[in-house]
A and B are shown apart, each in its own frame.
Chain A
Amino acid sequence: MRFQERGHRRPATLTTMTPHAHAAGSRESALRTGVITGFIDTMITLTAMLVANSAVLLADFLKTFLELIAVALSWYAMRRITRGRTEQFDYGMGKMENLVSLAVGTLMAVCLLVISANAIRNILHPVHIEGVGVWISMGAQITYACINSYIAVRSRKTAREENSPLMASQARLHFTRAIANGFILFSLTASMVLSGHHWAQYIDPIASLVIAASILMAALGIFSTSVSDLLDRTLEESDQLLILRELTRHFNEYEFLHGVRSRRSGSRVFIDIFLEFDPEKKMGDVQKTADHLRRSIEEKIQGSLVTIGLATGPVSNPTER
């Protein structure tokens, strides 16, 4: 019955791929690439760590493994978004994107602790880095610095185009990883080249602390963005003024303004406007005004879904109930 109703109303959506579906597909594809490359990276760092038996490479392995989990979580979320979009999540999955971003942020915080603890241990008990595992790791760092940079640029482009916090967190994550690759390569190279000097033993833990600082910055950014989005806050004043501008433009087409409610949920913005119309007005004219108002606001506020509600009295805010 449900299928028949939907088929009757919008048969085209059953057979054609919408731009939104295509965009979600490209996001899933980008994340899948991240999972595959992350898995290979984890295997290589694991091999390097086992061969070299090095504490630095152990930290690198743990960091890479945690990052793989982070990307895999995002990929899982995106798969659910892509697969379940039309059946169970009519309002999108903005909150899930935010929750995944928070999980990524938490994992980054764990990485930070591991790297910091390892760096402190190496400062207290300095050791020279050596072995085949170091050379394997250096080769891997060069390769993955290039791959991570590529994925970061691609994710950033998608995040900008689709206003997606999930893809923005992925761009930050891969950018951080590329920087980490560069620093670990620098650390290993300097430690090997300058191994004749006693102080060279401190290059590695100090470089690790710099990587830890960059991860901290990225994690804080993810937390601040995702937590505020999860709170379903109302729109910023600049957007509220845009809504008012449109209400002003249509001032003579409605009888009374009974309220405006708005909230952000992930990358989506929901705006409810409650208007009263002249009872003598034709339904067609009311629809025309409502459609025009809705479209003009949706064009101006990125990611917005506007609902024009009909009301004959004040509409209370949920927080006032």
Chain B
Amino acid sequence: MFDVKHEQQEKIVILSPGGRLDAVAAPELERKCHELLDDGKKAFLLDLAGLDFVASAGLRVFLAFAKLVKKADGQLVFCCLRDEVLEVFRITGFTDIFSVCASRKEAIDALQP
């Protein structure tokens, strides 16, 4: 079961996907990300505290989203990754190219201009 919530904190959009982000759920997250980008949002915080599992399809959504955010001259920060998800981020090298913070506060601070 997958769901994705979003909230706005000043100019920062906080996306909180929860459950299993697999090949079935990935398009839903992709749609949500595109909607927010189309609305002109530029600062994104992906809080992955509720994410139990992320498959390669979900990681590709993150990768593609990061490209779009970069193109829009925006910012993207990840936070609160569970150990299993953090391990996948390490294996794929995501931790080398993305900002990954331990807490939401730390991530918000990183996104502040």
Contact = CB atoms under 8 A, between A and B. Distances in A.
Interface in B83-98: 88, 91-94, 96-97
Contacts of B88: 241
B22 to A, nearest CB: 10
Interface stretch (B7-15, B35-43, B62-70, B102-110): B62-70
B59 A256 contact: no
Contacts of B64: 256-258
Interface string A248-265: 110100011110100000
Interface of B is mostly: helix
A241 B88 CA distance: 8
Q: Indicate the size class of the contact surface on chain B.
A: 10 to 19
A251 B97 contact: yes
Nearest to A235: B56
The residue in B88, B92, B97 that gathers the most chain A C-beta atoms within 10 A of its C-beta is: B92
A106 interface: no
5 contacts: A244-B59, A248-B93, A248-B94, A255-B71, A256-B67
Interface of A: 237, 240-241, 243-245, 247-249, 251, 255-258, 260
Interface of B: 55-56, 59-60, 63-64, 66-68, 71, 88, 91-94, 96-97
Q: What 9 A-B pairs are tightest by C-beta distance, nearest first?
A: A240-B56, A248-B93, A244-B92, A256-B67, A257-B64, A245-B92, A251-B97, A245-B93, A244-B59
